[in-house]
Amino acid sequence: MTEMTTLYQYNTLGALMAGLYKGTMTIGELLKHGDMGIGTVDSIDGELIILDGKAYQAKGDKTITELSDDVTVPYAAVVNHRADHRFNQTEKLSADALKAKMEEHFGENLFQSIKITGSFSKMHVRMIPRAEEGVAFVEVASNQPEYIEENVTGTIVGVWTPELFHGVSVAGYHLHFLSDDHVFGGHVLDFELESGEVEIGRVDELQQGFPVNNENFLKAKFNVNELKAAIDTAE
């Protein structure tokens, strides 16, 4: 029997866009659901990167910290990554060209887990700056620090989401990066791969968790179209 891969998503990007930033699940709990993934930390204090079962926070001041199990997150998506397709990329490729090449290996209607390990001639990331609950995410993102590093080795982790799930997540790629030396990382805006190994894993099922005890979430009124547009702008 083929092993099933489950993508576990805690809360939704839509809720995050609406300004619900309170951390309501611990890293310890989250890591039970997967060893690779993306997200953010309580008060959207930077980018969450989960690699090899460890959680890292890339903050706007360009620091990376390994997170302890008691730190909380408002939003994350994790998976026990299992590669179905794997290829070595030996020629330099832009992010767009590599994405197109990866898409030759999967259709449009299933989630995929993505892992790219290698040497990047360019890596352009942002870190969402810490914000108070209620300030719209797009507003916070308009002041986000961005950094470009050249010739850095590391790993891109993330998820590709089908169009049908835009709002729950962001349709297309949501990728975070962590350098091998753990000093540089963040939410990937653009990159150029010098050479490396690309892994794509088919996701068989989606498990959706909710902040069931968070009053602000329970009482929130969501304008879905607005939130979808905000995801297009900020993610």
Sites of contact with Zn ion (CB under 5 A):
187
Nearer to Zn ion, 176 or 202 (CB): 176
For the CB of residue 176, give the shortest distance to Zn ion in the complex, in Å. 6
Name the minimum Å distance from CB 126 to Zn ion: 8
66: Cβ–Cβ under 8 A, 6 or more apart, which residues?
Answer: 54, 55, 56, 182
Shortest reach from residue 77's CB to Zn ion, in Å: 9
Which C-beta is closer to Zn ion: that of 204 or that of 232? 232
For the CB of residue 180, give the shortest distance to Zn ion in the complex, in Å.
20
Instruction: Name which of 120, 109, 232, 235 is nearest 175 in CA terms.
Output: 235
Whether the Cβ atoms of residue 168 and residue 104 lie closer than 8 Å to each other: no
Task: Pick the closer one to Zn ion by CB: 37 or 211.
Answer: 37
Nearer to Zn ion, 124 or 187 (CB): 187
33 or 187: whose CB is closer to Zn ion? 187
Least spacing, CB of residue 115 vs Zn ion, in Å: 15
Token pair of 207, please?
Answer: 């498990």
Nearest residue to Zn ion on Cβ basis: 187
Residue 2 or 7 with smaller CB distance to Zn ion: 7
- Minimum CB distance to Zn ion, residue 173 (Å): 10
Least distance from Zn ion to the Cβ atom of residue 188, Å = 8
Number of Cβ within a 10 Å radius of residue 27: 23
Q: Is 172 exposed, middle or buried (0-12, 13-18, 19+ CB in 10 A)?
A: middle
- The residue (of 43 and 195) whose beta carbon lies closer to Zn ion is 43
